[in-house]
Amino acid sequence: MIFLLLNVPVAFAIGIASLSFFLLEPNLPTALSVQRMVSGTQSFPLLAVPFFVLAGHIMNAAGITSRLIRFANALTGHLVGGLAHVSIVLSGLMGGVSGSANADAAMQSRILAPQMLKRGYSGGYAISVIAVSSLITATIPPSIGLILYGFVGEVSIGKLFIAGIVPGVLLTLLLMATSYLIAKKRGYDVKADIEKPSFRVVFNAFKESVWALLFPVILIVGIRFGIFTASEGGAFAVIYALIIGVFVYRELSWGKLSEVLSETVMDNAVIMLIISTAAILGYIITYARVPHSMSELIVGVSGDPTVVLMLVLLFVLIAGMFMEATVNTLLLTPIFLPIVQQFGVDPVHFGIIMMLIVTLGGMTPPVGVTMYTVCSLTGISVERYIKESLPFLVSVVVLVLVLALFPGIVMFLPNLLM
């Protein structure tokens, strides 16, 4: 925590702290830390991460994003607060493309935020919608967070993908309702010049983006029927994105592909370095019996499964306010998953609500990565964002509580299909 407060990069902060433990613990050879770093990345399920990151970049460069924007605009652009709804629906659609909340928020900050400001939306409202709606990508497959959670917790990634669909849809509808109420009160696009589009316009927009919309469907069906694993699905996603970009939309040039590969290498390098150093810390957590100690502490407070789950989620929420979602997923999953399983909480159910809470931390102060991303790209102050994001954050917390108390909402599709 000290290193993080000193702005030391996350991977180095974890690595230095973990290595210090090996140096101070006489029963642990220092060479073991290097072995754990290497073995922490040697996993077949983990191959899904670089593949999906690459696929997301290719799809963005291939013109899929612009088509999804047109489709989202055709569906909701005519409503009160139309551009806010476009942003939210786009996040739902982009969840099946980028798999990353921060990537989605950054893209929308560059494209949609200026349009929202021109239409008279307040800056704080505009970036709050963009930032918080990017949370939908935490559940809509292929979520990078769910892949990492499944890898660390040894939970079926296919089940996690299917379980994320209903919460993702509910979150989309809830955020649209919240943005509608605020927009109507403030008069955003109440008398919009845009007429309700005809069926032909909506159909044409759908036809243009159908290849992007088919991707998550093919992915879920493929995993569900055992055609490929999540990792093989990632490889399929890359080939699919290349075919669509080169032969269907014909917008993916060699120059764009070169930029895509460069960005993908940088993104994957950061993720894999964090994973490798987190593997050292994960070993230390197990060696020091931290899950057992935390379990005894929480059980000492209450033996009620609901209370235990709420205490765990509260801790995860606080941790999310200070550390990036990827780090929290890698560090907290081996600590809290065994605890909640002792109380009968399904690991798939816990994974969905944990990823929502962990990712939500990126939209909150003091160290919200997504929050700082949208603020820096738009030049709008963090103070304005914090003030206007509260209704959206409260809506998300309410939904998480409902999902936690009624696990059948999350587990309906996995139990039905798998």
Residue 405 and residue 261: Cα distance in Å, rounded?
43
What's the mean pLDDT in 161-167? 91
pLDDT of residue 390: 93
pLDDT of residue 181: 92
Is the distance from CB of 382 to CB of 375 less than 8 angstroms? Answer: yes
Q: Tokens for 73, please give them.
A: 């605009």
Average model confidence (pLDDT) across the chain: 83
- pLDDT bracket for residue 107 (50, 70, 90): confident
65-69, 153-157, 274-278, range with greatest mean pLDDT: 153-157
What's the mean pLDDT in 284-293? 74
What's the mean pLDDT in 46-68? 80
Could you tell me which of 326, 263, 268, 219 has the C-alpha nearest to residue 58?
263
Residue 20 confidence (pLDDT) above 60: yes
Q: b/e string for 76-102 if b means 16 or more Cβ within 10 A?
A: bbbbbbbbbbbbbbbbbbbbbbbbbbb
How large a percentage of the chain has pLDDT more than 70?
93
Residue 71 and residue 205: Cα distance in Å, rounded?
5
Is the distance from CB of 51 to CB of 231 less than 8 angstroms? Answer: yes
Of 125-129, 275-279, 387-391, least confident by mean pLDDT is 275-279
Could you tell me which of 106, 97, 52, 51 has the C-alpha nearest to residue 71?
97
Is the distance from CB of 370 to CB of 105 less than 8 angstroms? Answer: yes
pLDDT of residue 404: 93
Residue 149 and residue 145: Cα distance in Å, rounded?
6
Q: Within a 13 Å sphere around the CA of 400, how many CA atoms are in the beta-carbon half?
A: 28
Residue 216 confidence (pLDDT) above 80: no
What's the mean pLDDT in 186-210? 77
pLDDT of residue 240: 87
pLDDT of residue 318: 82
Q: Tokens for 56, please give them.
A: 């997301």
pLDDT of residue 99: 62
pLDDT of residue 350: 95
In this predicted model, what pLDDT tens digit does every residue of 87-100 receive, in sequence order? 898 888 876 666 67
Could you tell me which of 322, 313, 353 has the C-alpha nearest to residue 145?
353
pLDDT of residue 38: 81
Residue 357 and residue 277: Cα distance in Å, rounded?
23
- pLDDT bracket for residue 172 (50, 70, 90): very high
In this predicted model, what pLDDT tens digit does every residue of 258-283 receive, in sequence order? 988 998 888 778 778 877 887 787 77
Which residue's entry shows tokens 């669509």? 244
How large a percentage of the chain has pLDDT more than 90?
18
Q: What are the Cα distances from residue 179, in Å, to 21, 58, 215, 249, 314?
A: 48, 31, 28, 33, 26
Of 103-107, 149-153, 348-352, 384-388, least confident by mean pLDDT is 103-107
In this predicted model, what pLDDT tens digit does every residue of 303-361 receive, in sequence order? 788 888 898 898 888 877 777 777 788 888 888 898 889 888 999 999 999 999 988 98
pLDDT of residue 42: 74
Q: What is the pTM of this model?
A: 0.80
